[in-house]
Chains A and B, each alone.
Chain A
Amino acid sequence: MRPVPRRRMPRQVLRALALAAALVVCAAAAKGSSRTVTVHIADMKFTPAHLVIHPGDTVVWQNDDLVPHSVVGGGFMSPNIPAGKTYRWTASQQGTFPYICTLHPVMKGQVTVKP
Chain B
Amino acid sequence: MTITRPSGKSVGMNASVLLGLAVALLCSSNALADVARDVRDGRQDLGTPDGGFIEFGPRLSYSSIPIEGADSGSVDFHVGGYYRFKRFFLDVSQNSHNRVQLGYNAYSSPLWSIDVLGASSEGGIDNRISDELADIDDRRPGLIMGLRGTIYSGPLIAQFEALADVEGLHDGFMMTGSIARNWLVRNWNAHAIIGARYYSAGYTDYIFGVDEDEASDRFPAYTAGASITYVTEIGMSYPLSEYLVLSNTLRYWALSDSIKRSPLLTDDDYTEIATALVFVF
A and B part of one assembly: no
Q: Measuring CB to CB, which residues of chain B are less than 8 angstroms from any residue of chain A?
A: none
Q: Measuring CB to CB, which residues of chain A are less than 8 angstroms from any residue of chain B?
A: none
